[in-house]
Amino acid sequence: MIGFVRNVQLWFAPRDVDAEGTTPDYRFSLANERTFLAWLRTALALIGGGFAVDQFLPDLQWGWRVGLALALLAAGVLCSLRAVNHWVRCEMAMRKGEDLPVSRFPAVLSIVVAIVAVAMVVVVFAGWEG
């Protein structure tokens, strides 16, 4: 927990990240940044999908619509927070010459998206009225 709090502090203090270890090859830092931006694009897509479900499926039963929209919105929020946390962890690992951190988050996110997709398929096959 203390490590996570330290990482959150580093989100807003990039100079503290620069103070750790030695500067890695810029190509690796830029690749880390591109990965961060890809995660943010994924988060934006999930958030957009959540709003789309809520706004463009008014005939869908209220519980289904809100449940699916909230699942997508929550996944987007978690994805955006995880993006910055992973960026900091990778940057720190590169600066310290350590192995890059591993995470179960991509698998969890994939499962959540798959569950929402299966729910949408069920809704489509069952019809819009609930």
pLDDT digits (tens, 9 = 90+) for 74-120: 999 999 999 999 999 999 999 999 999 999 999 999 998 999 899 88
Q: How far apart are CA 130 and CA 123, in angstroms?
A: 9
Q: Give the pLDDT confidence score for residue 1 in this predicted structure.
A: 64
Residue pair 16/9 in contact (Cβ under 8 Å)? The answer is yes
Residue at 84: amino acid letter: V
Q: Give the pLDDT confidence score for residue 14 in this predicted structure.
A: 77
Report, as an integer, the average pLDDT of 50-57.
Answer: 91
pTM of the shown model: 0.82
At 1-46, the pLDDT tens digits run 667 787 788 888 878 888 888 999 999 999 999 999 999 999 999 9
Report, as an integer, the average pLDDT of 55-59.
Answer: 86
Q: What is the 3-state secondary structure of the chain?
A: CHHHHHHHHHHCCHHHHHHCCCCCCHHHHHHHHHHHHHHHHHHHHHHHHHHHHHHHCCCCCHHHHHHHHHHHHHHHHHHHHHHHHHHHHHHHHHHHCCCCCCCCHHHHHHHHHHHHHHHHHHHHHHCCCC
Whether the pLDDT of residue 129 is over 60: the answer is no
